[in-house]
Structure 1
Amino acid sequence: MTDPATTPTAAVDDRWQSFFTHPDYLWFARTTLPEERTATEVAAVRRMLNLRRGTRVLDLGCGYGRIGVPLARQGSVVTGLDAVPGLLEQARRAAREAGVHLELILSEMRNLDAVERFDAVVNLSTALGYVADENEDAEAIAAAYRALVPGGRLLIDTENREAMLRTARRVWFDMGGMTVWCRRSFDPMNGRWSETVSWLRDGVQDSATYSLRLYSLTELRALLERAGFVVEEVWGDFTQAAYGCDSPRMIVRARRPE
């Protein structure tokens, strides 16, 4: 298993990382993305991409290995790439505990330098859009195109902007017995969604802020086609329901032509 601390890569840009390096991030992630949801999504990903034992999969923005580890357990040959060292360490630990091999690369997505190495690339759980310049997202998609073999497929799972915009306000909710407050806003000039999350845990109040570029389907399709992809399917959730303005997710499958 590759040690993420020693994998040679270009320098990592830390402008957007504060949310993902917060000490409570993993607690939030594992609370909102429980094992049952993960199992459902992994099964759907395997179905959407027709994954088989030995399929070479790149998990682009792999985080703590939530998807990559179970894919490896089910027979895929998985490489995980992420720009946050602490999350890669968690992925390495999860792979070891699961008894699977997971190559791990510390890098920003746009700096991926693989050429025709993978049969499938996945970019899941809204891993796109956090960089400050959307041209960097375009570079990441172009890098994924180069990394795929001809005929290989890319699967992107991200927020449905049309549905998200109706929640651009202050809200509060219960999460694992803890009250969480969210202050949300959307800037239509640059398409960026900003959210400050505050919570009280073990008597300590804390908060974290993140910002990401929310893409419409039209915009995301344009980025994919600019890179050379052919968009094949769009779904609104992991049941493969048709995509619409009220869909909870926007899941796009694109193919690198033969």
Structure 2
Amino acid sequence: MSKKHIFKENLEKYADPEMYDHLYEGYQKDLNIILEWAKSDLPIIELACGTGRLTIPMAKRGFQIIGVDIHEGMLERAKQKAKEQMVSIEFILQDCSQLSIPVKGSLVFMTGNSFQHFLTNEVQDALLQSVRQHLVKDGLFIFDTRNPLLNELAAVDEYEQKYIDIEGNQIIEFHRDEYDSLTQILHCHTNREIYEGHALLAKEQDGISLRFSFPLEMERMLKNNGFEILEVYGDWDKNELNEKSISMVYVCQVRN
């Protein structure tokens, strides 16, 4: 399976960029840590930038920033928002594991657990090498990934979720998540019902596959790809990483 095929088959969750914004645009905790490490003297690159949730506020603060994503629809939404908010950002449609940008940055960051989209050892290594090649000496890479909590991954998980969409319709989602312990991939399947009042308007379904990596695995992977871990947190509030942490947030530096 080619790298391109892996990604193209795993983008169903991002079919509606406006709904993505509706659900996630207000989240800013990751921005706070990124700003702590950001320097304004060289370009900054955001990978898997989506609709510009972080790229745009970084640009508003005066940073020269480049946003990269493989999903054309998300990038078009980001460009529209940047134009409306009168900020200048270069958005690039590329596979983050095969970056080809004619600049090197002082910081590359990737949030929203996007690291979990890189499903194989080969593609994870390709991503890290791609990042390293686009960083200056002592450059930083900041990213997050979910902490694999075995009590949550050990069995098939089924649950229901309700929310209101941007048009005021009620959405009911029925989720079924199945974890493959050999590949460390969680396969998530969603059946969705859309209601206007009590009337069923439509039914939809989608899915996504997410790779989980363990803390010691991450340490070895980063070291083997030329990075030194400066900080690791259990969430974007900078709590210590432990066996109950929901996330692993890494601040890494290119190792000389």
Shorter-chain TM range is 0.7 to 0.9
- Deviation string 1:170-208 (CA, Å, 9 cap, x unpaired) is 011222342211100111111111100121124211110
Q: What percent identity do the matched residue pairs reach?
A: 18
Equivalent in 13, 17, 24 of residue 26 of structure 1: 17
1:172 aligns with 160
Q: 3-state DSSP class of the match of 1:247?
A: coil
The 8 Å contact of residues 82 and 88 in structure 2, kept in 1 or not, is answered as: yes
1:91-240 matches, within 5 Å, as: 91-114=78-101, 117-162=104-149, 164-165=152-153, 168-176=156-164, 177-202=170-195, 203-240=201-238
1:88 aligns with 75
Letter matched to residue 33 of structure 1: Y
2:244 aligns with 246
Normalising by structure 1, we get a TM-score of 0.85
Equivalent in 1, 4, 13 of residue 4 of structure 2: 13
Letter matched to residue 210 of structure 1: I
C-alpha separation between the residues in 1 aligned to 2:87 and 2:45? 15
1:5 aligns with none
- Deviation string 1:9-32 (CA, Å, 9 cap, x unpaired) is xx9824433553567543553344
The 8 Å contact of residues 62 and 81 in structure 1, kept in 2 or not, is answered as: yes
Letter matched to residue 61 of structure 1: A
Q: Which runs of 4+ in 1 moved over 4 A?
A: 21-24
Shift of 1:250: 1.3
C-alpha separation between the residues in 2 aligned to 1:170 and 1:88? 32
Letter matched to residue 87 of structure 2: V
Q: Does 1:65 align with 2:55?
A: no
Shift of 1:74: 1.3
- Deviation string 1:96-138 (CA, Å, 9 cap, x unpaired) is 1121111111111111134771000001101123245331121
The 3 A distance-change label for structure 1 pair 24 and 148 is closer
The 3 A distance-change label for structure 1 pair 249 and 32 is farther
Q: 3-state DSSP class of the match of 2:149?
A: helix
The 3 A distance-change label for structure 1 pair 67 and 196 is same
C-alpha separation between the residues in 2 aligned to 1:168 and 1:137? 26
Normalising by structure 2, we get a TM-score of 0.86
The 3 A distance-change label for structure 1 pair 32 and 74 is same
The 8 Å contact of residues 53 and 74 in structure 1, kept in 2 or not, is answered as: no
Letter matched to residue 199 of structure 1: R
**Structure 1 alignment gaps of length 5 or more:** 1-10
Over the aligned positions, Cα root-mean-square deviation in angstroms equals 2.4
C-alpha separation between the residues in 2 aligned to 1:23 and 1:156? 20
How many equivalent residue pairs? 244
Q: 26-35 or 195-204: which moved more?
A: 26-35
